[in-house]
Amino acid sequence: MTAGTEYWIRNFVNGGFVEPDEARGFAAVDPATGRVFARVHEADSALVDRAVMSARQAFDGSWGRTPVRDRVALLRRVADRIEARLEEFVAAEVADTGKPVTQARELDVARAVENFRVFADVVAATGQESFITDLPEGRQALNYAVRKPLGVVAVITPWNLPLLLLSWKVAPALACGNAVVVKPSDQTPSTAVLLAEALTEAGLPPGAYNVVHGFGSGSAGGYLTRHPGIDGVTFTGSSATGSHVMSTVAPRVRPVSFELGGKNAAIVFEDADLHEALTGLTKSIFTNTGQVCLCTERVYVQRSVFGDIADGLVGRARALHLSHPADARTTTGPLISQAHRTKVLGYFDQAEKAGADVLVGGGVPELGAELGGGSWVEPTLWTGLTNADAPVREEIFGPVAALIPFDSEEEAVGLANDTEYGLAASVWTNDLRRGHRVAQRMNVGMSWVNAWYLRDLRSPFGGTGLSGIGREGGGSSVHFYTEPTNVCVQL
Ligand code: NAD
Ligand code: 6OD
């Protein structure tokens, strides 16, 4: 449906799209070109209220009572519907983010399909905890815990992997029997809306999935997290916003799950397969233009191979292809926005002022008139910085890393753990014992050996410190999206 002649990205409440309000439109901008391609209808507090109420009705009515086998069958149909409309999802994700079309197809949308299938399997296979308690005089008690959905869950997501991260939360939440109100990032509203269509096509009852668009505290994000009808909040975004959301939710003591920022380290030992390490590091620094919470921004390299790794990474950074997202050869897209580019370029300046040697990049690329209005930066590598410098301490969220030498395993562990964040780490070594030993000593939620972003969706995902609270994935998601009632029967 349209208002005026523009293309509108609409809110979705109680199973239907909401007619946009001309006065509450904001621009959807293509980050690759800087062009406005649509208008987004910002939900006001009354609309957020309607979304929460309709979720409550769906939860209390049909959806909350739907048997597990029907819920998981529906999830599998959703996966099929996304696959059937794959290119529409890909185009929407590319329009919002400017990311290369191949990445959108092979990572973002493919993972959304997998999220629905895996959580269908996980929830179908979830049993109940039970204990037999021995009592005096030969009697016993049977304890069993019945897991019940939380109710209405607020799902708040960022702009970097919009559909992947939304479906990572929506799939288990729905599979466990919750109804959801989702607030995607204002910068990437499109795929949440397409997902509404896929869910409806798969047979989800009205109200079980609602989308409200807008911004943070004075907008849809704030209205949603403050709403008394919300039974839990699952949030992915920056640590600063996570802290804010936590204080908003605190007065009503609702469960929260937070997947937040990172300042992730890689450690490369001299015994590593250097070719494999270079391939892995290139992915871990530059995938999605460095805008993945798991991306490596600190690379600690044993001194004897420091030159090899630095030279190898510079060569690989120079070989990245920055171009139009629709070009199948493009490896690297723009940053999400001009505001984010200003932040990243600010770190480029700080690094130079702190005495960094810029091995490659450090500025804005010249990509011609078509892409001139986009928010592009050059893939960048520094040496000469230490853990004391802000670009090595603070999350930048761009295609950039600092390379720092070390001499001993103990020193490398100390340097990697010297951070308030605790999301992910990767260790590159051919020494089996060292790989296990160092990976376990990383103070993070996810530690890889000779790999990066290799995922089994049944395993726990999340961070420590500023990187988050709780874990999602497999049984961890089931635990977050349900609450147990323990029944104790004296036998
Ligand atoms: P952000 O914190 O600015 O925004 C995230 C979401 O929260 C958006 O939908 C935004 O509109 C909403 N929001 C903002 N203020 C709010 C408020 N006061 N109340 C309710 N909602 C509010 O993050 P971003 O810039 O969109 O994403 C980048 C950040 O996300 C990076 O720090 C990155 O590391 C982090 N991230 C973490 C993970 C993870 O799994 N740990 C995954 C992806 C991104
Ligand atoms: O792969 C995932 O499940 C996940 N949650 C990835 C998060 C990436 C952060 O940008």
Residues 163-178: pLDDT tens digits?
999 999 999 999 999 9
Residue 64 has pLDDT above 70, yes or no: yes
Annotated catalytic, 293? yes
State which of 93, 109, 168 you would mutate to test the pocket of ligand 2, scoring each by most atoms of that ligand within 8 A of its C-beta.
Answer: 168
- Into which CATH architecture does domain 8-260+467-490 fall? 3-Layer(aba) Sandwich (3.40)
Residues 6+ positions from 34 with CB-CB distance below 8 Å: 338, 372, 373, 374, 375
- pLDDT tens by residue, 327-374: 999 999 999 999 999 999 999 999 999 999 999 999 999 999 999 999
- pLDDT tens by residue, 400-449: 999 999 999 999 999 999 999 999 999 999 999 999 999 999 999 999 99
State which of 293, 294, 338, 395 you would mutate to test the pocket of ligand 1, scoring each by most atoms of that ligand within 8 A of its C-beta.
Answer: 293
- Separation CA 417–CA 419 (nearest Å): 6
Q: Which of 114, 176, 293, 472 is catalytic?
A: 293
The Å distance, Cα 240 to ligand 1 centre, comes to 9
Model confidence, pTM: 0.97
State the fold for domain 264-457: Aldehyde Dehydrogenase; Chain A, domain 2 (3.40.309)
**φ, ψ at 471 (rounded to 5°):** -130, 150
**Sequence ranges of the chain with CATH classification 3.40.605.10:** 8-260+467-490
Annotated catalytic, 488? no
CB 92 within 8 A of CB 37: no
Residues with Cβ within 6 A of ligand 2?
160-161, 165, 168, 292-294, 455, 461
The Å distance, Cα 242 to ligand 1 centre, comes to 7
- pLDDT tens by residue, 264-313: 999 999 999 999 999 999 999 999 999 999 999 999 999 999 999 999 99
pLDDT band at 62 (very low <50, low <70, confident <90, very high): confident
The Å distance, Cα 188 to ligand 1 centre, comes to 12
Tell me which of 30-34, 61-65, 134-138, 466-470 is least confident. Answer: 61-65
- Separation CA 455–CA 448 (nearest Å): 10
- pLDDT tens by residue, 81-93: 999 999 999 999 9
The Å distance, Cα 241 to ligand 1 centre, comes to 6
Residue range 67-71: mean pLDDT, rounded: 97
pLDDT band at 55 (very low <50, low <70, confident <90, very high): very high
Look at ligand 2, atom 4, and give the residue with the nearest C-alpha: 165
Confidence at residue 2, expressed as pLDDT on a 0 to 100 scale: 40
Residue range 225-240: mean pLDDT, rounded: 98
Amino acid at 154: A
Portion of the chain with pLDDT greater than 70, in percent:
99
Which atom from ligand 1 is nearest to the alpha carbon of 225? 20
pLDDT band at 318 (very low <50, low <70, confident <90, very high): very high
Which atom from ligand 1 is nearest to the alpha carbon of 185? 9
Q: Which of 259, 297, 378, 395 is catalytic?
A: 259
Residue 4 has pLDDT above 90, yes or no: no
Look at ligand 2, atom 1, and give the residue with the nearest C-alpha: 455
**Sequence ranges of the chain with CATH classification 3.40.309.10:** 264-457
